[in-house]
Amino acid sequence: MSRDSIHKIEVESYAILRSQLDTSNMPHWTRALTERVIHASADFDYANDLICIEEDLARAAAALREGAPIVTDVQMVAAGITSRSVTCLVKEVETTELAHQMGLTRSAAAIHRAFDKVGSGAIWVVGCAPTALFEIVKLNVAPALVIGLPVGFVGAAESKARLRESGLPQVSNVSNKGGSAVAAAALNALLYADKTENI
């Protein structure tokens, strides 16, 4: 499939999305993120489920332009972010060892190791592991943004509620919905908002 045909499909897809959901009154970054998440999931419920703070999104987009590190909870989220290098330490042997030592899941242990590596000012993207999101809040990683969109029936909604209570700059949603593709789409919205706005 050629690049031109991919672009045509994307243009048509956004046109269909906007014909079914009026996003024109949303603030710039909130609109970009909401549209990209719906585009990735074909789930219009996100229009009412996502919780976006426009000022947080704008600051995070600026941080990305300045080269802020990106950390993900799992490789599947990292795989959806193709234009930037991403830190994801969940598969490393040292992470497994730390998890055993601290009595944590590997995803939570990976957050500890990533924070030691990237420090403050990073963008943290969680699409799979509620334990990773709980750990981000617990450590108070001084983020540029936390995208907290883990999916599941055990701890997902609760971890997102904890994120909202934390006051950290953030994106979350209320329901159990989420996932790797959705979390990656939310991050990509901050990288590509100008492109999709002009579709």
Lay out the sheet containing 170-173: strands in order across.
50-52, 170-173, 145-148, 123-126, 70-72
Confirm whether 39 is a catalytic residue.
yes
Q: Are the C-beta atoms of 61 and 46 separated by less than 8 Å?
A: no
Q: Dihedrals φ, ψ of 171, to 5°? A: -130, 135
Q: Give all strands (DSSP E) within 39-196, no chain letters.
A: 50-52, 70-72, 123-126, 145-148, 170-173
Active-site residue, from 7, 39, 100, 112: 39
Which residues lie below 8 Å from residue 183, measured CB to CB, with a gap of 6+?
72, 77, 80, 125, 126, 127, 128, 147, 149, 150
CB atoms inside a 10 Å sphere around CB 114: 26
Query: Annotated active-site positions, please?
Result: 39
